[in-house]
Amino acid sequence: MPTQLPVLQPQTVRKGPVVERPLKVGELAKLCGKTVRALHLYEEMGLLVPTQRSKGRYRMYDADAVMRVRWIAKLQDMGFSLQDIRTMSQQWEQSGSAPDAMAKVQALFEQKLAETQAQMQRLRMLSAELQASLEYLRTCPTCDPNRLIEACSACEEHQAFEDPPDLVAGFSAH
């Protein structure tokens, strides 16, 4: 713990957050749920630049960086690769006008939205398939325990099903 109590800084800003102390890379990492190595990687890729370096070459970040890293994480979560994000970021910086930049990002987001919706559709089908397979499997504990596995895949408990669902059938196919 600090031996000196924090000195209250005279506030020049009426509203808003206190001017944060610059962050070391480990602190930034913790605030963003990333590792130091990851932040270094982002920097190598030009995605994250420390606002300055300390006397001893320590990377120092300001509060903005927290937003930046969380933004990177969010895009990763969306399925963008770091390369994708790098391209996006560069396009943004290189575009001559705001509408130009907006249009490019817009296109990417629209494509991602389409992908996302398609993915949701597939997940719905997957979900249905899993439920069908579970339904099928749920009848199995009622099978005669002495019956062998090979027999079970066609046992009389399953007559309601034409065939075992694909996900179940694959087990018996050697």
Q: Which residues lie below 8 Å from residue 132, measured CB to CB, with a gap of 6+? A: 165
Q: Could you say which DSSP state residue 59 is in?
A: E
Q: Is 26 in the site for DNA (CB under 7 A)?
A: yes
Could you report how far apart the first and last alpha carbons of the chain are, in Å? Answer: 64
- Tell me how crowded residue 153 is: count the other CB atoms within 10 A of its CB: 16
Rounded CA separation 16/14 (Å)? 7
CB of 133 to DNA, least distance (A): 20
What are the angstrom distances between the C-alpha of 174 and each of 150, 163, 169? 12, 17, 10
Site for DNA in 63-92 (CB under 7 A): 76, 81-83
Among 57, 148, 156, 162, binds a copy of itself (CB under 8 A): 148
Distance CA 67, CA 160 (A): 55
Q: Which of residues 56-95 bind a copy of itself (CB under 8 A)?
A: 64-65, 67-68, 70-72, 74-79, 88-89, 92, 95
**Binding to a copy of itself by residue 55, rule CB under 8 A?**
no
Residues 43-62 binding DNA (CB under 7 A) are 54-59
Of these partners, DNA, a copy of itself, none, which one is at the site of residue 20 (CB under 5 to 8 Å by kind)?
none
The stretch near a copy of itself (CB under 8 A) out of 22-30, 36-44, 52-60, 146-154 is 146-154
CB of 168 to a copy of itself, least distance (A): 8
Residues 15-34 that bind a copy of itself (CB under 8 A): none
Query: Closest separation between CB of residue 19 and a copy of itself, Å?
Result: 15
Taking the CB of residue 28, how many other CB atoms lie within 10 A of it? 24
- Asked if residue 106 binds a copy of itself (CB under 8 A), the reply is yes
Interaction partner, residue 128 (a copy of itself, DNA, none; CB < 5-8 Å by kind): none
SS3 label, residue 53: strand
DSSP 80-148: --HHHHHHHHHHHHH-SSHHHHHHHHHHHHHHHHHHHHHHHHHHHHHHHHHHHHHHHHHTGGGS-TTS-
Which residues contribute to the site for DNA (CB under 7 A)? 1-3, 24-27, 34-38, 40-41, 54-59, 76, 81-83
